[in-house]
DNA sequence: AATTAAATCAACCGCCACAAT
DNA sequence: GATTGTGGCGGTTGATTTAAT
């Protein structure tokens, strides 16, 4: 049954966001927290669709987003997770707390896909490039909420086996040894420091800077382009869902989900869990990885699978996978 | 220096799942 | 239990930037 568009097409602005709009959105979210996106356009006066606001926040303005080059480690992780999960970018992104699913998706489509193709042409079989291991159909699986038409017990079992596979894959991904198949074509590793981070506060400053600078603030791209390169700040990470002062209210934005169960909260399963891992662990990708590593290396496996699942949750709700 | 092709990235669109009514 | 609305996700597109000729 066709659903009407989320917002009136009439009078809704489209295209790149201007610094002014970004400011309005950021200040609104700082005040009220993310969520209730439908109310955002009316409350802020933004002539934007609620979806557009959410997207802008999630993919660009949200604190703790890392922009810029993907590290070798991130790249490998993405490759393996993609092979494992298919094109479930949100699920994959939950393992890369500072990357947005859109970013990962773009990176996959522009870089990694080609890279894998090249490698395959070179006589490698790495599970296929597009939707490779997981579900090539794209949305046939149940990433981020799409549930397969599989009885629950069955997908639980599948989950368990896939967790095993995941551990294996992640182990490979995290080992930087060139023996890994992908390493062959891997580009020179990006210096860890080269990554740029963004927080909303900085974004605002950046936006203002670009905005005030003569000839600087031209549409979304202008400040952004300059920003993403000039945001050398590599600021302290801020917990997204509950952290960052004003955004603290946000924890409950999704219908009052318990804030302290961030990683389990549906809303937080994608966004919060991203921050949860980075936020809890400190800053940067390294903590996230070390969590993964410790999880992987904790081969005691005395865990029952259930426990294992519980272990995984902070990194990303496994229920998203199936 | 100018033109064209390729690459990149932000944003939009449509679909789906879930929650609220 | 059925219907409706919202949020979230993945695919795709279009504009912009960069590299090659």
**Residue A217 CB lies within 7 Å of the nucleic strand C:** no
**Residue A194 CB lies within 7 Å of the nucleic strand B:** no
Q: For residues A46 and A182, which has the higher predicted lDDT (pLDDT)? A: A46
Q: Residue A173 — pLDDT band, cuts 50, 70, 90?
A: low
**Residue A269 CB lies within 7 Å of the nucleic strand C:** yes
pLDDT higher than 50, residue A172: yes
Residue A196 φ then ψ, to 5°: -115, 150
Tokens of A167: 């551990």
Q: How far is the CA of A247 from the C1' of B8 (A)?
A: 31
pLDDT higher than 60, residue A96: yes
Residue A234, pLDDT score: 34
H-run or E-run covering A13: none
SS3 A86: coil
- Domain A66-119 carries which CATH code? 1.10.10.60
Which 77-136 positions of A have CB less than 7 A from strand C? 87-91, 101-102, 105-106, 109, 131
Q: What average pLDDT does chain A have?
A: 56
pLDDT digits 0-9 by tens, A137-170: 333 333 333 333 333 344 444 444 455 555 555 5
CB A254 within 8 A of CB A267: yes
As a whole number, mean pLDDT of residues A6-32 equals: 82
pLDDT higher than 70, residue A302: no
Q: For residues A60 and A233, which has the higher predicted lDDT (pLDDT)? A: A60
Q: How far is the CA of A85 from the C1' of B15 (A)?
A: 20
Rounded to whole angstroms, how far apart are CA atoms A81 and A275?
19
Is the domain spanning A19-61 CATH 3.40.50? The answer is no
Rounded to whole angstroms, how far apart are CA atoms A178 and A185?
10
The sign of the torsion formed by the CA atoms of A307, A149, A90, A117 equals positive
**Residue A52 CB lies within 7 Å of the nucleic strand B:** yes
Residue A208, pLDDT score: 52
Residue A66 φ then ψ, to 5°: -100, 135
Tell me the pTM.
Answer: 0.59
Q: For residues A161 and A2, which has the higher predicted lDDT (pLDDT)? A: A161
pLDDT digits 0-9 by tens, A220-249: 333 333 333 333 333 333 333 333 333 333
CB A131 within 8 A of CB A101: no
Which 289-308 positions of A have CB less than 7 A from strand B? none
Which 144-163 positions of A have CB less than 7 A from strand B? 145-147
What's the first-to-final CA gap in chain A, in angstroms? 25
Rounded to whole angstroms, how far apart are CA atoms A33 and A247?
5
| Winning range, highest mean pLDDT, from A196-200, A253-257, A302-306 | A196-200
Residue A292, pLDDT score: 52
Residue A254, pLDDT score: 34
SS (H, E, C) A122-191: CCCCCCCCCCCCCCCCCCCCCHHHCCCCCCHHHHHHHHHHHHHHHHHHHHHHHCCCCCCHHHHHCCCCCC
Q: Provide the β-strand partners of residue A66.
A: A197
Indicate where chain A has its CATH 1.10.10.60 domain(s).
66-119
Q: How far is the CA of A258 from the C1' of C1 (A)?
A: 28
Q: How far is the CA of A99 from the C1' of B9 (A)?
A: 14
| Winning range, highest mean pLDDT, from A116-130, A187-201, A205-219, A271-285 | A116-130
């Amino acid at each position: 049954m066709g659903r009407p568009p989320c917002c009136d097409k009439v009078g809704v602005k489209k295209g790149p966001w201007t610094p002014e709009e970004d400011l309005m959105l950021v200040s609104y979210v700082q005040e009220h927290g993310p969520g209730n996106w439908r109310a955002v356009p009316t409350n802020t006066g933004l002539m934007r669709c609620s979806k557009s606001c959410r997207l802008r926040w999630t993919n660009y303005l949200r604190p703790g987003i890392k922009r810029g080059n993907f590290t070798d480690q991130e790249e490998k992780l993405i490759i393996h997770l993609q092979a494992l999960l298919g094109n479930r970018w949100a699920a994959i992104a939950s393992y890369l707390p500072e990357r947005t699913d859109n970013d990962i998706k773009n990176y996959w489509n522009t870089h990694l896909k080609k890279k894998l193709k090249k490698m395959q042409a070179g006589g490698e079989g790495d599970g296929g490039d597009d939707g490779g291991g997981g579900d090539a159909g794209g949305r046939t699986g149940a990433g981020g909420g799409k549930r397969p038409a599989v009885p629950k017990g069955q997908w639980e079992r599948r989950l368990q086996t896939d967790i095993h596979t995941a551990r294996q894959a992640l182990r490979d991904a995290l080992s930087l040894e060139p023996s890994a198949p992908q390493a062959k074509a891997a580009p020179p590793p990006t210096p860890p420091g080269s990554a740029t981070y963004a927080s909303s506060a900085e974004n605002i400053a950046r936006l203002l800077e670009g905005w005030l600078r003569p000839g600087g603030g031209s549409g979304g791209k202008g400040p952004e382009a300059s920003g993403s390169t000039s945001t050398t700040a590599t600021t302290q990470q801020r917990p997204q869902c509950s952290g960052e002062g004003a955004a603290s209210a946000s924890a409950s934005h999704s219908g009052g989900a318990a804030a302290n169960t961030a990683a389990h909260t549906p809303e937080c399963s994608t966004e919060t869990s991203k921050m949860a891992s980075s936020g809890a662990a400190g800053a940067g990708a390294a903590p996230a990885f070390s969590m993964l590593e410790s999880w992987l290396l904790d081969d005691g496996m005395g865990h029952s699978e259930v426990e294992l699942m519980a272990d995984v949750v902070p990194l990303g709700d496994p229920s998203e996978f199936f």
